[in-house]
Amino acid sequence: MIGIVVVSHSRALARAAVGLAEEMLQGRRVPIVIAAGLDEETFGTDAVQIHDALLEADQDGDGVVVLMDLGSAVLSAELALELLDDDARARVLLCPAPLLEGLIVAAVAAVAGAGRAEVAAEAVNALAGKQSQLAPLTLEPASLQPAPLPRDHALMHDADRASVHDHEKEGRAGRGFTVTAAHGLHARPAARLVQLLSGLEADLELRNLSTGSEWVPGRSLSRLATLGALRGHEIEVRATGSQADEAIDQVLALATRNFDDPAGDSADPAGGQDLGGPFAASPGIGIGPARGHDVTGSGPADVAAVPDRRSTDEPGQGQALDEAITAVRTQLQTLRERICRETGAADASIFDAHLALLGDPELLSDARARIHDGQAASSAWAGAVMVSVTGLEDLTDPYLRARAADVRAVGNQVLGHLLGLGEELIEPEADPSQADPSQADPSQADPSRAERPGVVLVAADLTPAQAATLDRTRVAAVVLAFGSPTAHSAILARARGIPAIVGAGPEVLKIADGTPLAVDGSTGELAIDPDPEALARFRDRADAARTRGSELLSRAGAPALTRDGVEVLVGANVGSVEDAAAATTFGADLVGLVRTEFLFLGRAQAPGVDEQEAAYRALAAAFPGRRLTLRTLDVGGDKPLEYLPMPAEANPFLGVRGIRLALRRPELLADQLLAIVRVAHDVPVSVMFPMVSTLSEVLAGRRMLDQAIKLTGRGEPPGLQIGIMIEVPAAALKAAVLAPQVDFFSIGTNDLTQYTLAAERGNDAVAGLGDPLDPGVLKLIEATCRGAGGRALVAVCGELAADERAAAVLVGLGVRELSMSARAVPAVKQAVRELILPEAARLARQALEAPSAEAVRELLRGR
Please identify every residue annotated as catalytic: 488, 797
Give the strand order in the sheet containing 279-282: 279-282, 500-502, 475-480, 455-459, 285-292, 516-520, 525-528
- DSSP code per residue over 723-750: EEEE-SHHHHHTHHHHGGG-SEEEE-HH
d(CA 792, CA 420): 56
**How many CB atoms are located within 10 Å of the residue 321 CB?**
24
d(CA 784, CA 725): 11
d(CA 588, CA 829): 9
**How many CB atoms are located within 10 Å of the residue 169 CB?**
7
- E-strand ranges in 250-403 read 279-282, 285-292
- Containing 314, the helix (H) or strand (E) segment is helix 314-343
- Going by C-beta distance under 8 Å and a sequence separation of 6 or more, which residues neighbour residue 43? 9, 10, 37, 201, 242
d(CA 498, CA 456): 10
d(CA 585, CA 624): 12
Asked if residues 815 and 795 have their Cβ atoms less than 8 Å apart, the reply is: yes
Asked if residues 674 and 695 have their Cβ atoms less than 8 Å apart, the reply is: no
Q: How far is CA 829 from the centre of its chain?
A: 32
The answer to whether the peptide bond before residue 506 is cis (omega within 30 degrees of 0) is: no
DSSP label of 478 = E
Asked if residues 179 and 228 have their Cβ atoms less than 8 Å apart, the reply is: no
**Across-strand partners of 290?**
456
DSSP label of 168 = G
Q: What are phi and psi of 721, to 5 degrees?
A: -115, 150
Asked if residues 828 and 589 have their Cβ atoms less than 8 Å apart, the reply is: no
Torsion over CA: 500, 503, 509, 511 (sign):
negative
Rg (CA), the chain: 29
Residue 525 CB burial class (10 angstroms; 0-12, 13-18, ≥19):
middle
d(CA 749, CA 566): 23
Asked if residues 478 and 459 have their Cβ atoms less than 8 Å apart, the reply is: yes
Asked if residues 321 and 381 have their Cβ atoms less than 8 Å apart, the reply is: yes
Asked if residues 412 and 421 have their Cβ atoms less than 8 Å apart, the reply is: no
**Across-strand partners of 687?**
630, 722
Torsion over CA: 340, 342, 343, 348 (sign):
negative
d(CA 674, CA 677): 5
HSE on the CB side for 470, CA within 13 Å? 31
Bridge-based pairing of strands 500-502 and 279-282 is: antiparallel
**Across-strand partners of 571?**
819
Direct distance between the N- and C-terminal alpha carbons of the chain, in angstroms, rounded to an integer: 79
- DSSP code per residue over 535-564: HHHHHHHHHHHHHHHHHHHHHTTS--B-TT
Nearest to 72 by CA among 190, 185, 204, 189: 204
